[in-house]
Amino acid sequence: MAEFAFNNKVYTATKMSPFQVNYGRELRIGFDIRKKRKNEKAEEFVREMKERHEKVRAALVKLQKKMKRQADRSRRETEEYRVGDKVLISMKDFLMELMKRATKKLTEKFIGPYVVKKIVSENVVELELLVSSRIHPVVNVRRIVKYREQVEEQKKILSPSVKIASEKEYIVEEILDRQERRGKTKYLVK
């Protein structure tokens, strides 16, 4: 029953049912008596089928052009990246756990800069990321923007680190392991 309904439905793109496109006639629920001799109706049927297929092909090409025009409205030209370029990664699609902020409002819109390691295709690049960053190094170009160096007067001056007199200071040779407990990260160091 579902197959009958599917084959008998008239589609807006082709203005015909799939059965009519394939066989040149409307779908019937009955049996046809087939004749074994060659007749003019068969030749006429072939001609009609070719005409019908041309009409359907023209309608599909027209619809395809319309869909392309609609899709191209939201497309923009992509920037070309080279190996060695510095880029920023958009934080739009990352989970809150990667952002390490309590609220989305206070998170950075872009992180980085990272260096382009390899051009995979015109839409995909591979970046040099830290292993601990938990971000896949292959990124679509829609998620990155070119990094622009700050002007000398605009550079942020980082305040010097504060030393607490009561805390002991150690020199870390190597981080052996990392573990999270109750939201706090603890390290095993050498």
Q: What is the pLDDT of residues 88-133, one digit of tens each?
A: 998 887 765 555 666 667 777 888 889 999 999 888 999 998 877 7
Q: Answer yes or no: is 77 within a domain.
A: no
Query: Which residues are within 8 A (CB) of 138 and not within 5 positions of it... i.e. 6 or more apart?
Result: 120, 124, 125, 126, 127
The whole domain housing 145 covers 86-155+164-189
pTM of the model: 0.45
CB 125 within 8 A of CB 81: yes
**What pLDDT was estimated at residue 115?**
93
Statement to judge: residues 176 and 113 lie in one domain = yes
Statement to judge: residues 124 and 55 lie in one domain = no
Statement to judge: residues 90 and 171 lie in one domain = yes
Q: Last residue of some domain: 72, 98, 117? A: 72
